[in-house]
Structure 1
Amino acid sequence: MTGHTHFARSLRLHRLHHHSPSGLMVTPLDHGISDGPVVPAGLSFDQLAGQLAAAGVDAAVVHKGRVRHIRPERFARMSLIIHLNASSRQAPDPDAKYLVTAVEDAVRLGADAVSIHVNLGSQDERQQIADLGRVADACERWNLPLMAMMYPRGPHIGDPRDPALVEHAVAIAVELGADLVKTVFPDSVPDMLRLTASCPVPLLAAGGPARADRSEVVEFVDTVLSGGAVGVAMGRNIVQSASPEQLAGTVAGLVHARRHPDAMTGEEHHDRRQTLLA
């Protein structure tokens, strides 16, 4: 990698951190292809993007067509990540992800980074890992940061949160050149600490299944940050909440106040949760 390439890619990575040099809050909004519309009734995609930007979200993940329906000024305080592959849950194999956009298209659209989803253990794993490798090569050529969304998911995966499987999925992303990795929380802070210690690039925890209320979301975010994650990539728990802007602001505040877990006392963790829930 040349000095110029390193500088350009590093510059874009730093731009993702709009509100904190360490914590990173990403909201994926790429569910339209997989699940259908997820934006709350009465709210346009542009209005939702505006609420997220106002709440302190660092970056939103969208497909290429949605960019046309979001005003450019929304991205003055929030980065644009273009998602490159997709699948529909109506498909015979919904775990089979296929490319729908190229890195150079994302560059033309003004993206600050791209993302790609890989299901480790799916029947289509071979193609998805090959696509990840090709996308990583293109990101090298275009100096664009790459976020890999890595999930143990498929017919032979017994426990998708098995720490060894999650670590394997993350390792694949690192081996092929991802700058950021999004993956599932392996359900314990010690397991998360081992995972983040083994990952040389920033790791974000996926938002996971729907949670009943705001306090559960805050508790989850605080837990993954305690495990060494730089932040979260949380979509549906934000978008489908009673107040997306309010909950996004709460989560962003927690993420941007992130300190290394070893530097925080139990009392500090408690006080931070109580402040955000107030």
Structure 2
Amino acid sequence: MTSAGHFARSLRLRRLYRHGTAGLMVTPLDHSISDGPVIARGSTIDTLAGQLAASGVDAVVVHKGSVRHIRPDRFADMSLIVHLNASTAQAPDPDAKYLVTGVEDALRIGADAVSVHVNLGSDDERRQIADLGRVADVCDRWNLPLLAMMYPRGPRVADPHDPALIAHAVTVAVDLGADLVKTYFPGTVPDMLDLTTSCPVPVLVAGGPARADESAVVDFVGAALDGGAGGVAMGRNIFRSADPRRLAARVARLVHRHPAAELDHTIRGQHHHDGQQTVLA
């Protein structure tokens, strides 16, 4: 990578970490294609985006069409990650993800980063891995950060939360060029530490199914951070909350102020003494 390219990618990564290098609080809203509407009755995606920006969320993940329905000023306080592939729950194979846009289009509409979802173990794994590799190449060409959403998921996966399978999924993302990886929490803090201490890029823990108890959400996030997670990517628990702004703010404060992340390193992939990761170069 040229010095100019190194600068451009680093600049975009720093924009993602707008609240400091302790960790990232990302709210994915890409569920709208896979599962249906994510916006509560009487609200809009612009209103939700405004609530998230005001709560301290670092970035939202949305599909390209949603961007035109969000006021640009919402992104004065948070970053835009455009999701590049999709599938629906009604498909013959919901685990098969298909590219629906590209890196250049994401840049054209103002993306700070892009994301791609891959299900390892699905019948369609071969094409999804190839898509991730091609997207990573284009991201390198344009110096755009790439978030890979990696899950052991499919007919050959007996336990999606098997730590060995999660570690394999994360390794695939790193080997193909991802800057950030989103995946499952493996179940325990020691298992999470095994994953994060051997990974050269930040691992963001997926928020998982919606929980009725807000304190359970906070406890889950705390365990992930204790395990060295580079942050969380929490969607359903936020947008299905009775008060998305309040819960997002609570989680964001925890991510940005967690004791495991008090040191501010500036070497990409360098780890804190207990496994906490940073991404800045």
Structure 1 stretches lacking a partner, 5+ long: 264-278
Q: Are the aligned partners of 1:227 and 1:261 in contact in 2 as well (CA < 8 Å)?
A: no
Q: Are the aligned partners of 1:33 and 1:88 in contact in 2 as well (CA < 8 Å)?
A: yes
Matched, 1:72 2:72: yes
Q: Which residue of 2 aligns with 1:272?
A: none
Q: Which residue of 1 aligns with 2:195?
A: 195
Q: What is the alpha-carbon distance in structure 1 between the residues aligned to residue 15 and residue 183 of structure 2?
A: 22
Q: What is the alpha-carbon distance in structure 2 between the residues aligned to residue 32 and residue 229 of structure 1?
A: 26
Offset at residue 211 of structure 1 (A): 1.0
Q: Which residue of 1 aligns with 2:149?
A: 149
Does the C-alpha gap of structure 1 residues 17 and 99 become closer, same or farther in structure 2, counting only changes over 3 Å? same
> Match of 1:16, as an amino acid?
L
Counterpart secondary structure, 2:57:
coil
Q: Are the aligned partners of 1:24 and 1:58 in contact in 2 as well (CA < 8 Å)?
A: yes
Q: Which residue of 2 aligns with 1:179?
A: 179
Q: What is the alpha-carbon distance in structure 1 between the residues aligned to residue 103 and residue 262 of structure 2?
A: 38
Q: What is the alpha-carbon distance in structure 2 between the residues aligned to residue 38 and residue 256 of structure 1?
A: 25
Q: Are the aligned partners of 1:230 and 1:258 in contact in 2 as well (CA < 8 Å)?
A: no
Does the C-alpha gap of structure 1 residues 5 and 261 become closer, same or farther in structure 2, counting only changes over 3 Å? closer
Q: Are the aligned partners of 2:22 and 2:261 in contact in 1 as well (CA < 8 Å)?
A: no
> Match of 1:170, as an amino acid?
V
Q: What do the CA deviations read for 1:15-52 (whole angstroms, capped 9, x no partner)?
A: 10111222110000111110010111111110000000
Q: What do the CA deviations read for 1:71-94 (whole angstroms, capped 9, x no partner)?
A: 000000000000000000000000
Q: Which residue of 2 aligns with 1:6?
A: 6
Q: What is the alpha-carbon distance in structure 2 between the residues aligned to residue 137 and residue 97 of structure 1?
A: 19
Give the TM-score normalised by structure 2: 0.92
Q: What is the alpha-carbon distance in structure 2 between the residues aligned to residue 219 and residue 207 of structure 1?
A: 12
> Match of 1:120, as an amino acid?
L
> Match of 2:23, as an amino acid?
G
Q: Which residue of 1 aligns with 2:119?
A: 119
Q: Are the aligned partners of 2:22 and 2:262 in contact in 1 as well (CA < 8 Å)?
A: no
**Paired residues for 1:23-102 under 5 Å:** 23-102=23-102
> Match of 2:137, as an amino acid?
D
Q: What do the CA deviations read for 1:147-186 (whole angstroms, capped 9, x no partner)?
A: 0000000001000000000000000000000000000000
Offset at residue 261 of structure 1 (A): 7.5
More helix by share: 1
Q: Which residue of 2 aligns with 1:269?
A: none
Q: Which residue of 1 aligns with 2:166?
A: 166
> Match of 1:96, as an amino acid?
A
Q: Which residue of 2 aligns with 1:139?
A: 139
Counterpart secondary structure, 1:11:
helix
Q: What is the alpha-carbon distance in structure 2 between the residues aligned to residue 258 and residue 125 of structure 1?
A: 36
Cα RMSD of the aligned pairs, angstroms, is: 1.2
Counterpart secondary structure, 2:238:
helix
Offset at residue 260 of structure 1 (A): 2.1
Offset at residue 259 of structure 1 (A): 3.1
> Match of 2:142, as an amino acid?
W
> Match of 2:75, as an amino acid?
F
Q: Which residue of 1 aligns with 2:212?
A: 212
Q: Are the aligned partners of 1:149 and 1:182 in contact in 2 as well (CA < 8 Å)?
A: yes
**4+ residue segments displaced more than 3 Å:** none
> Match of 1:135, as an amino acid?
V
Q: Which residue of 1 aligns with 2:103?
A: 103
Q: What is the alpha-carbon distance in structure 2 between the residues aligned to residue 38 and residue 3 of structure 1?
A: 41
Give the TM-score normalised by structure 1: 0.93
> Match of 1:132, as an amino acid?
L
Counterpart secondary structure, 1:119:
strand
Counterpart secondary structure, 1:39:
coil
> Match of 1:150, as an amino acid?
M
Q: What is the alpha-carbon distance in structure 1 between the residues aligned to residue 189 and residue 47 of structure 2?
A: 36
Counterpart secondary structure, 1:115:
strand
Structure 2 stretches lacking a partner, 5+ long: 264-281
Q: What is the alpha-carbon distance in structure 1 between the residues aligned to residue 98 and residue 143 of structure 2?
A: 23
> Match of 1:169, as an amino acid?
A
Q: What is the alpha-carbon distance in structure 1 between the residues aligned to residue 250 and residue 105 of structure 2?
A: 33
